[in-house]
Structure 1
C-alpha cells in the first residue's frame, strides 16, 4: 500500500507504472551494490536503466551513467563524438580564451 503524498511512495508508483518494478524489486536491485550505481559504483543508484527497444529492465544506475548510456547506445552519436574529440583545437572558437 502506498500513501499519496510522500516522495518515496510517488517514486515507487512511478517505477511500477513505467517499468513494472515493485518497491521490493527496486530495493533488491539497489542492494546489489550497496545502493551504488551498477556501472560507476560511486554515485547512488537512483535511476532504473532499461532497454529502449525491448523495455526490459537492466539495472539500477546513477542518473549520470543512465544518461550517458542513452548516447553510447546510439552508434552515430558515438562516431560523431570521436570525430569531434579528435579534431583538437580546430573546432574551438578563438574569441573566448579560458583562464
Structure 2
C-alpha cells in the first residue's frame, strides 16, 4: 500500500487513486485552472541554497523570505522577485499599493478617502494643516474617523485615544505655557499661571 497516500476519511485509510495517478490528475486540474507548470532547477542545488524560477538564479537561503506554508520553510521566489510579484499583484488587483493599503487596513479605497478629505475642506480634521494623508481610525472598532496630518495622527496614538488624558494635557499646557504679559506700557515679561514670572536678568 506504499503506492497510495494515506486518507483518514476513507474506510480503508488510503486515497482512492495511487500516488502516480493522483499527481497526474492534480497536474491536469492545475492546467485547466490556468496555473502554469511548476519549473524545476536545471541543475542540482547545493545545501543552503535555493533556485528562484523567476530570475533563474541559485541564491543563499537568506535571500528568500521565510514562510510556514511550505515544507522547505522558504518562499519559492527570492526577495527581489517576491517583491516584484507582490507589486504586480497589487497593481493588477487594486490598481496600486496605495489602494491595496487603504482597503486592507481601513476597508476604504482612494475614492472614499478623497470624499472624506473633500468633506474636511482638504485640511487636517484637527489642526487644519493642508494635504493630510493619514487615515485615523478607532482602534477598538476599526471604524474610520477622519483624515489627519502626520503629527495629529501620531499624537492621538501617543495619547492612546484617551480623551481624559488629552484633556489633562490641555490643562497642563494652559497652566505651564509661558506667555508675553504687558506689565508696563511697552514692557512685556514672560509669565506662567503656575510658575509666575521669569526672573529679570538683573536679579
With the shorter chain as reference, the TM-score category is: 0.5 to 0.7
1:24 aligned partner? 111
Q: Which one of the candidate residues 142, 154, 157 is aligned to 1:55? A: 142
TM-score scaled by structure 2? 0.34
C-alpha contact 2:136 2:146 (8 A) present in aligned 1: yes
CA–CA distance in structure 1, aligned partners of residues 116 and 122 of structure 2: 8
CA–CA distance in structure 1, aligned partners of residues 160 and 130 of structure 2: 19
C-alpha contact 1:72 1:78 (8 A) present in aligned 2: no
1:73 aligned partner? 161
Identify the structure with the greater helix proportion.
1
Q: Which one of the candidate residues 91, 100, 116 is aligned to 1:3? A: 91
Identify the structure with the greater strand proportion.
2
Describe the superposition over 1:15-69 as per-residue Cα deviations: whole angstroms up to 9, x where unpaired.
1100101121011011113321111112322000001111111011111111111
Name which structure has the greater RCO, CA cutoff 8 Å, separation 6+: 1
Structure 2 unaligned blocks of 5 or more: 1-89, 177-194, 196-203
C-alpha contact 2:98 2:110 (8 A) present in aligned 1: no
1:91 aligned partner? none
C-alpha contact 2:125 2:148 (8 A) present in aligned 1: yes
In the TM superposition, structure 1's runs of 4+ consecutive aligned residues that sit over 3 Å from their partners are: 74-80
Structure 1 unaligned blocks of 5 or more: 89-99
TM-score scaled by structure 1? 0.64
How many aligned positions are there? 83
